[in-house]
Amino acid sequence: MVGPHFTPGPSDTAPLAAVPAQPGSPPGPGRNDRDPKALALRGAGLLVIAVVAGLVWYLIRHDSTPEPVAQEPAKTSPFDYQLVEGPNKTSDCAAKSYDDTKKFFQGNPCTSLARALYTVQYGDAKALVSVVKVSMPTAAQASQLKQLTDQDGTGNVSDLVRDGTYKAKGAPKVSSDQAEYESAVTGTDVTIVLTDFYDRHKDDALLKRIASDALELSEKLR
């Protein structure tokens, strides 16, 4: 038996079934956060940023630019030395020395000898300065030579006044007992300075200053 025809009302409509997502449809919210490819790309980007930051920090901490080094001011001498004789050079030190120093060279030949004479004017005082530079085969021999010439009565290397090379009138005898003596040893080199005033001028303190300062002149006797 067929029932009576019935037209459903609005409130009687049956609920529609959910439509399944179609292939290629846009992803829902939050899907990229769980996508392995997206996570990998994000991690790689963070890694690159970290590497670049670390490299910049390393370069800042390890700057290859050398630190500027403060230069020591060049030493200036208060004395104006004028070369008047030499440099006279030889390798036969025994022939250019006397007394015990000559005997020393006969048993310990030097490798080179350079001798020169300078004048220096300081106020009303004028001095003649002999500078001798002896090079020995070893540092030990250089020290022995200095110890020998530092003693009184042991002779020395002949300066250019003593051996007659410099014949200027009125030149003081810088090898006399009144002359001032200084010496220094640097490695295998020995520098010997003898100086005295012209015209019998007397100023012991000034003469000592000149003798000590003149040791630097050995750099010109290369």
Mean local confidence (pLDDT), 87-96: 96
Identify the pLDDT of residue 67: 57
Cα dist. 2→12, 13, 55, 110 in Å? 21, 22, 88, 145
Per-chain mean pLDDT for the chain? 82
Does the pTM exceed 0.85? no
Task: Dump pLDDT digits (tens) for 38-83.
Answer: 666 666 666 667 666 666 566 656 555 555 555 555 567 889 999 9
CA 210 to chain centre: 28
Order of strands across the sheet with 125-135?
81-90, 112-122, 125-135, 189-197, 180-186
3-class DSSP state of 119: strand
Instruction: Name the residue with tokens 């490819």.
Output: 37
Identify the pLDDT of residue 77: 80
Task: Dump pLDDT digits (tens) for 118-173.
Answer: 999 999 999 999 999 999 999 999 999 999 999 999 999 999 999 999 999 999 99
